[in-house]
Chain A
Amino acid sequence: MAHAHAHGHAVKRYSGIMDWLTTVDHKKIGILYLIAGGFFFLVGGLEAILIRVQLWKPQNDFVGADTYNELLTMHGTTMIFLAAMPLLFALMNAVVPLQIGARDVAFPFVNSLGFWTFLFGGLLLNVSWIIGDVPDAGWTSYAPLAGTTYSDDHGMDYYVLGLQIAGIGTLIGGINFLVTIINMRAPGMTFMRMPLFTWTAFITSALILFAFPALTVGLAALMFDRLFDANFFDPAAGGNAVLWEHIFWIFGHPEVYILILPAFGVISEVISTFSRKRLFGYSSMVFATILIGFLGFMVWAHHMFTAGLGPVANALFSIATMLIAVPTGIKIFNWLFTMWGGSIKFTAANLFAVGFIPTFVMGGVTGVMLAAAPADFQYHDSYFVVAHFHYVIVGGLILGIFAGLHYWWPKMFGRTLNEGLGKLTFWTFFIGFHLTFFVQHFLGLMGMPRRIWQYLDGMGFNEMNMISTIGAFLMGFGTIFFIINVVVTAVKPKNAANDPWEDGRTLEWTIPSPPPEYNFAQTPLVRGYDAYWKEKMDGHSGMTPAEPIGPIHMPSPSILPFFMGLGFFIAGFGFMYAPDWGHFLGTDLTNGHALGIFGLAIVLICMLLRSVIDDHGFHIEEEEILKDLGGKA
């Protein structure tokens, strides 16, 4: 990397807002993902609260039927694509390069581009609330309901284009992490020495790579149907509505594992650290992760048992789905036996991680129940399914993200979150979560379908819905406590130690909190699994460097990714309104088309500039590094 002969390139280092708009530093991009994902999490959470208020009593009229469908659609879409995935990307960006001893990701520019396209896609989707045409066909957007015949306003266009743009960001982010993990590991960091969080980030990125293009095609086809009168999903013209279900779930099921695997990784790290014990069965954990990722592509049709695929398909997909329970079970027991015999410290982070295990098991077992196709005829599209996937996604993924945030907060910001407030967050959120969703299993079994605006009185649903709503408010309070914690912590001095938990096992705890721009002054030499722990046990205070101190080459910041995201946003907006706006200078094209082409032109020009202008980057000189080291010593 670093060349002994430093060049005289001007060091481009912005400050203030320009720094954030142009940054290609994975740590800053991680923080950007955290802020944006956190914002969308609050938006989706607010939508959830409104849904629960509507359902707190029978035949409630708090929101109208149309608004209710908009809320449930945007809640699902926002939480999955704009909150959960970016929050995971926040952790992956903040941690993965540090865990493998790298100075950055493989493609810093692409990393920034991934963030900005995600953000502008998410904004485009949510602009729908301001315009007033909001997607309302569910996050699954089944045709023909999502087609122009039955959704004739622009709501579904926002879904199609917003997700398409956000999806580009996710896909290139996935490729970036794959290459980073394959090519950028420090000397000695073999695959079987990688921390489990890095492993799960790796498998998740592979799933993103192979799952998202299917969504791209599905959304493109739906967009063609909606904007250009194509006939993919229009039965009247020979289209096939079930085809959309297949395409959506070929993407959609791996997506579930894309979400949950990194949470598994977080839990593995947190439990191991706070049990002061090596992760039990590391290699079987790695194997189980790979197997889950692989099986994740074989089971999409279990979302379609009632679609009429026939008994052979239903039987095969039932059995395939059940098989996933085996590697998942391996993971659960490995976590339990990591704690077994350990010395468990219940920090806020560890409370979330330990709370995750039984909660996730409850979501897992209902998953196996759902896998039995004939029984699924009863569960399908009922509140039982709502309970199941919230146990997996909130009880699994969100608890995992909270655990990860409390755990890595000092590394990301140099300040440790307040433990008391953290524990308060955990207990309110955890109790609220179980109150909200446990009763929903029974609501479903008692005959309450999902996605319903109102239920009638006298069905026996009243009390449980009331409990569920109370629980949702508790979850809301838990989130507010977390935000208070963030604010309280932000005004505290920046004094977190390199290894604030004192039991850190992996490379990120060997460097300052927050790390300098270049992460590692000297690339570390890794001598085993739990690299830092091994050095500690051998009586060393830090890692053995693999190189002498020298100037470090860094990539230049760039504003182009921001403009590319903006270009996509403008293009999406233009094409969406192409049929509505007048003609462009008397041509066949409308003003909408013109705006769309203008947006795409911005993207293409940015790509051209990126290709033509060589990025020489700049060097951080030896003196500066030595000064950093001295300051911290």
Chain B
Amino acid sequence: MKRLAPLMAFMVLVLAACGREDLSTLNPQGPVAEEQFGLMKTAIMIMSLVIVVVFAISLYVIIRFRRRSGDKTIPKQVEGNHKLEVIWTVIPIILLIILGVPTVQSVFNLSKDYSNDPEAVKVIVTSHQYWWEFEYPELGIKTAQELVIPTGKTIAVEAKTADVLHSFWIPSLAGKIDTNPGGNTNHMYFSSPKEGVFLGKCAELCGPSHGLMDFKVKAVDPASFDRWAAAIQEPVALPSDPEVAAAFESKCLTCHAVGDLGGPAFPNLTGIGSRESVGGILVNVEADDKKYANEDTVYNNLYKWIKDPQEVKPGNMMPTVDLTEKELEGIAQYLSELTLDYEQ
């Protein structure tokens, strides 16, 4: 066991090096994921030990007791061995106790409900095919796709769905919780001590675009968060070009909202120009930083999305809106400039 310890430590290091910092469960960025990773490490170490023992015995047996050709001898027929059988019953039980005790502790620890904690930021997460709605009931804010949180604060999540089952997962910050229909809401909490953008995923099959139902969690310092909360509630002006404005009002605001205009049924677009991505998966980058097929400038991403939403996310609820090329470009331009200035 003593000799194995450094080996185990090494393995954990290797594991921790796996994957992106903003996505991997092996590289936790917050206390909840940290606690879960701790339990995973305990389990992985115990299980590696089991595997090593079984592999060692297997190898030894396979090599040592292989039949030589022509060997007609009959090995001794052993019925069993009580001592051995007790050993391999008791040792697993001990190993399971070592794993079981922290598991139970952690189950209760992670089930704490912070929804009545005045220090916590309350967020109601509502999942839709295939986007995420984030409501801050205390602040009167409803936004979509990008969950902005203050660093260091506990985020108390109340999760539910507007249609089918989904599951809310931010691998590097916290494990997932299902979003159930019909008033059966679930609670979870997490926090991020560090600033940064973390990738969120839907983890329950919810239809064709289940794999594309990504969102972002953006942790900013508390002062920036306050500025963001104020900025997102500011009124928003319509596009300056009256033709584009008319199209935007009659064809976009029927479903979407910006500022205090429009309808609440589909993703709120306030500040969409400063979000990390369009539609959760078209990542916004500067024109020169384009690296992957799903990366482009905000404008291009918006243009691409509005032109044919079904091409980007098959089966989503947004139809191809009948727009002239000028209206399309004008709306994409307008939305790309619809930014919130809150970071320093």
**Chain A positions near chain B (C-beta within 8 angstroms):** 58-59, 64-66, 68-69, 137-138, 142, 144-145, 150, 235-236, 238-242, 275-278, 280-284, 306-308, 310-311, 314-315, 318-319, 322-323, 325-326, 329-330, 332-334, 336-337, 339-346, 354, 357-358, 361-362, 365-366, 368-369, 371-378, 380-382, 442, 445-447, 449-460, 537
Contacts and interface: CB of A to CB of B under 8 A. Distances in A.
Given A368-B96, A446-B23, A235 B88 contact: no
Interface in B144-190: 163-165, 167, 169, 171-172, 174-178, 180-187
B103 A280 contact: no
B62 A278 contact: no
Interface stretch (B5-13, B131-139, B267-275, B290-298): B290-298
Contacts of B164: 142, 144-145, 150
A329 B46 CA distance: 14
List 6 tightest A-B contacts by C-beta distance, closest first: A377-B175, A452-B211, A235-B182, A446-B19, A65-B208, A308-B186
A64 B47 contact: no
B214 to A, nearest CB: 8
Given A65-B315, A280-B80, A455-B211, A447 B25 contact: yes
B43 A372 contact: yes
B210 A453 contact: yes
B184 A308 contact: yes
B103 A137 contact: no
Given A341-B78, A374-B106, A242 B47 contact: no
Contacts of B54: 332, 336, 357-358, 361
Interface stretch (B68-76, B223-231, B239-247): B68-76
B99 interface: yes
B80 to A, nearest CB: 4
B324 interface: no
Given A65-B208, A374-B103, A453-B208, A278 B78 contact: yes
A556 to B, nearest CB: 44
B178 A308 contact: yes
Interface stretch (B198-206, B251-259, B301-309, B330-338): B198-206
A305 to B, nearest CB: 9
Contacts, number: 311
Contacts of A138: 205
Contacts of B183: 235
B110 A449 contact: no
Given A240-B182, A275-B65, A307-B186, 17 more contacts: A66-B314, A241-B181, A277-B77, A318-B100, A319-B100, A322-B99, A329-B89, A334-B80, A336-B57, A337-B81, A340-B61, A344-B66, A344-B67, A368-B47, A447-B24, A456-B292, A460-B19
A322 B104 CA distance: 12
A282 B80 contact: yes
A346 B67 CA distance: 8
A286 to B, nearest CB: 12
14 contacts: A59-B293, A241-B181, A308-B178, A341-B75, A342-B65, A369-B47, A373-B106, A374-B103, A376-B175, A377-B110, A378-B175, A381-B204, A445-B24, A456-B294
B2 to A, nearest CB: 22
B41 to A, nearest CB: 9
A453 B214 CA distance: 13
A325 B283 CA distance: 44
A374 B35 contact: yes
A335 to B, nearest CB: 9
Given A306-B178, A340-B65, A282 B79 contact: yes
